[in-house]
Structure 1
């Protein structure tokens, strides 16, 4: 049985990516080296890690920065966070909007190029209600 599960995102600037998640989302380091940083949110316990793809621990041929990855961060007030991210100059790749499947969200880009989808759940449109289990 797994005792943990979290994404490890390859980034060529581990320090800048770690600073991004600390500053904008409140994560704290649980392990930190110049090639790897493990982060955990002190309130929710959610984790993610950042890894330099050139590090020797990465198998040959797989040292590629994260691409096509979307990290979802669900929180209580996406409007407040979106305003704060915009004011801080974080690159917004999709403006704040409501989706009929039950999300109000904004998508930003972290320093390593990973897309971060910042979400607050909202009431889904009637045509999506059946898609939600339970």
Structure 2
């Protein structure tokens, strides 16, 4: 199979609120918009939002996204912590911290409850370094 594109689609009951969140907080641009679907892009990265009750989804799957975690790797997680949490007022679901497995990160949630893990990779401890390929 040859892929021409790949991107997550978040099923939500808050399409407009989620659009504003990703545009204002993470710099995405709207590339298509209907009241039930929004396509977003930031450089090479894409993300879409879909009204969870829309008939384009099989009826048994018309639910809000749950158990989803998006990783946003950034150059300076401390600067993003200040921008998004300290100055921006987002509630952290996980406070800024460094992990032995090689990440400094924090987690916030979008309006639907999708978690966003904002990460800067750091040196792992010796215990974890051996697990990297």
Shift of 1:82: 1.1
- Partners of 1:5 and 1:27 lie apart in 2 by 16
Q: Deviations over 1:71-107 (max 9, x none)?
A: 0000101111111111222121000000011100010
Shift of 1:129: 1.1
Structure 1 ranges of 4+ moved more than 3 A: none
- TM-score, normalised by the number of residues in structure 1: 0.94
Partner of 2:95: 95
Q: Deviations over 1:57-76 (max 9, x none)?
A: 01111011010000000010
Partner of 1:129: 129
Structure 1, unaligned runs of 5 or more? none
**1:8 paired to 2:2:** no
Following superposition of structure 1 onto structure 2, how do residues 17-56 of structure 1 map, counting pairs within 5 Å?
A: 17-42=18-43, 45-56=44-55
Shift of 1:35: 0.8
Structure 2, unaligned runs of 5 or more? none
**Length, aligned pairs only:** 131
Following superposition of structure 1 onto structure 2, how do residues 73-112 of structure 1 map, counting pairs within 5 Å?
A: 73-86=72-85, 87-112=87-112
Secondary structure, aligned partner of 1:131: coil
Secondary structure, aligned partner of 2:130: helix
Secondary structure, aligned partner of 2:38: strand
- Partners of 1:34 and 1:89 lie apart in 2 by 27
- TM-score, normalised by the number of residues in structure 2: 0.95
